[in-house]
Structure 1
């Protein structure tokens, strides 16, 4: 019963503070609102960005080792050493495919450059030639929008069959169904047997095949010298068998590649073994820094807001000194006065926090309108965290004024 009366009185006094001096209250709560906006806004943006990037990178597969000359980690200090390495080639792919017992899939691909395609009187430039072995669709889960993938016989024979990216097919054929149509590229004729599904609007898209012109390795080897490591460097992807640890897979790959490249025991590896976890760790550190920046900026704003709310509470205690004396003379205990002012401070800060959350929702809605590929969402957990932070700030801002009011001498308070 007493608690409900104290709460009702605190609500009434908080409302009086909000309506009695609107400008002072607005400026005092502005710090809390901006602080919550910075903290929750940055947390929501970073979490949404992390989910978007992680979802995009997940397409690479967390059970795949990517063999390249360049490591995915920071390589600025050893740039010249990495630059002199040979690119992985088809010979590395064949050695791994024949000898690597811990792998379920081994695939090789390379991008020799851009090409111009022609269909009747229509020509499209800028498409990049993507030369790959047969296993690519199982490494990347390549989705076919229309048509089909190569058959084993077509791959083995190096048939003039081609797959086109969705955007490239739309530019070249328009509304016409491209499946079965014949195009010209580099003086050769190819039959379009399939188009790839659109890559989507992800902020980071590691597998953007929208402008890809896919041909098989056996076909491209007829008119391109793909054995030149330095001119047409590629990548080998190795997918682990179920139950095989990535560390063991890397050890097996390293042994086979060193033997195939005839490296002496004391020579360093002239290749890099990359995993998705390497990128995830680097991104995790980056997102951690962004979160810290948000907390620092928001923390300063909240400190300013807390000082402003504390000032409001000191003014409130000063204005109600006589009333406090009367309450204590009538038997009100210290904890009742303490809870009353502390609750009032908490309510003021929560109102400021709610304003900050509304600001977050408004700003994210505007951003989402202009960035359809990157949607920022305010999760319920972050919303609750914003309210809890506001309540804690209210306690810290109101505890000193509340203690001052609770410890007043009733006689001296009524005289003032």
Structure 2
């Protein structure tokens, strides 16, 4: 109990000392404020930007493997680029072949896309991302609906003229009313609207957004567009099992099935590419890791200067209060009481500076930056306060130790 009482008294002494030299206190914490602001500002910007970019690639799905002609990653350096163009696209027959036989996937789907204009009465929306999908599309990719429903399996098999619209398209074609159950025209064909996607908001880096997308059954899409070789290239995608770490089993099985379906001999190379959607997210993460290191370097110098400033002020404080230290020790104050008194002062200085830097970042997060929303995360707040505390301990430990080791008689005589 006595230990806690002495600790509390040490804390009170530290706060009193900071208040008595307010100008010096403010000048001391400026360095830490700037340093923590620089680090947390960079981390907040990096995290917000990384999250926004990754969310913009959400249309690729998670834990998904795609069958493409071109790999997401760069292929072998000596691989002729023209061979990629000679590879055959995926087909509906390959999709059905894979769907019937695959064991290491929770779902397989095929889809094809085109840019189209959609109309409803005198209203029209140009540049719509039109996709023809199978029933299993919802099992591979997220289909979040705000209103209405998804296609039934019988509707997909019958190639019914039904459509699910993005929020922006729906508001353009039918302002101030629900388009559910109403008709729209795509390339002269009438479609009945059965669903509306949840609103995603303004896109980032001009990447696809469901607000400007439309889904229709794959068979209905084929009535308007030719798919396959010399036509629009469909995409086969499979969602891996949760237990398949890295989708290794899925990749091996898809490779075997595609080689068998395409009749490739053992000596022939693959004429397809299997792309994991996580590759893009990992590549983005690697880029931002480098930026984060730069943030540490930029803020590190400021924090270093701030730490030296706090240490310098603490040495001055010890010198100014030498007689008080001598009196306290002569009255029975323990060494740890004196140590904590100056250590708390250094930590308080650093925490106030760090907290101010974090507060500045918080207010800056309200500044509009177009489609990018700055979000100060709880982890970054804890990081800023943790770094501030560490700087306070490092900067104050030596002066505090010197004060704790002073001889009471010598301390009073020096004063």
Structure 1 match to 2:375: 376
Is 1:197 paired with 2:197? Answer: yes
Q: Which moved more, 1:404-413 or 1:253-262?
A: 404-413
Indicate how the Cα distance of structure 1 residues 76 and 21 shifts in structure 2: closer, same or farther if over 3 A, else same.
Answer: farther
| Cα drift, residue 309 of structure 1 | 0.6
Segments of 5+ residues of structure 1 without an aligned counterpart are none
| Cα drift, residue 152 of structure 1 | 4.1
Contact 1:342 1:399 survives alignment (8 Å): yes
Contact 1:166 1:195 survives alignment (8 Å): no
Indicate how the Cα distance of structure 1 residues 202 and 39 shifts in structure 2: closer, same or farther if over 3 A, else same.
Answer: farther
Structure 2 match to 1:33: 33
Structure 2 match to 1:386: 384
Secondary structure, aligned partner of 2:211: coil
Is 1:232 paired with 2:232? Answer: yes
Deviations 1:101-126 (A, max 9, x none): 444432111213x2223333333322
Indicate how the Cα distance of structure 1 residues 98 and 356 shifts in structure 2: closer, same or farther if over 3 A, else same.
Answer: same
Contact 2:184 2:193 survives alignment (8 Å): no
| Cα drift, residue 306 of structure 1 | 0.6
Contact 1:144 1:194 survives alignment (8 Å): no
Structure 1 match to 2:398: 400
Secondary structure, aligned partner of 2:117: strand
Secondary structure, aligned partner of 1:70: coil
Structure 1 match to 2:102: 100
Structure 1 match to 2:357: 356
Aligned-residue CA RMSD in angstroms? 3.6
Q: Hey, what's the Cα distance between the residues in 2 that align with 1:146 and 1:9?
A: 62
Aligned residues: 409
Is 1:282 paired with 2:283? Answer: yes
| Cα drift, residue 287 of structure 1 | 3.9
Deviations 1:39-79 (A, max 9, x none): 34444555555666666766755443221223333569569
| Cα drift, residue 397 of structure 1 | 1.1
Q: Hey, what's the Cα distance between the residues in 2 that align with 1:203 and 1:14?
A: 49
Structure 2 match to 1:259: 260
Contact 2:39 2:296 survives alignment (8 Å): yes
Q: Hey, what's the Cα distance between the residues in 1 that align with 2:169 and 2:294?
A: 41
Contact 1:202 1:373 survives alignment (8 Å): no
Contact 1:347 1:394 survives alignment (8 Å): yes
Q: Hey, what's the Cα distance between the residues in 2 that align with 1:397 and 1:249?
A: 54
| Cα drift, residue 303 of structure 1 | 0.8
Contact 1:201 1:373 survives alignment (8 Å): no
Instruction: Tell me the TM-score normalised to structure 2 length.
Output: 0.82
Indicate how the Cα distance of structure 1 residues 388 and 176 shifts in structure 2: closer, same or farther if over 3 A, else same.
Answer: closer
| Cα drift, residue 372 of structure 1 | 7.6
Indicate how the Cα distance of structure 1 residues 310 and 232 shifts in structure 2: closer, same or farther if over 3 A, else same.
Answer: same
Deviations 1:115-159 (A, max 9, x none): 223333333322132122332223224244444444444433434
Q: Hey, what's the Cα distance between the residues in 2 that align with 1:242 and 1:13?
A: 54
Q: Which moved more, 1:269-278 or 1:381-390?
A: 381-390
Q: Hey, what's the Cα distance between the residues in 2 that align with 1:394 and 1:121?
A: 68
Contact 1:133 1:216 survives alignment (8 Å): yes
* Alignment match of 1:89 (pick from 86, 91, 101): 91
| Cα drift, residue 328 of structure 1 | 5.6
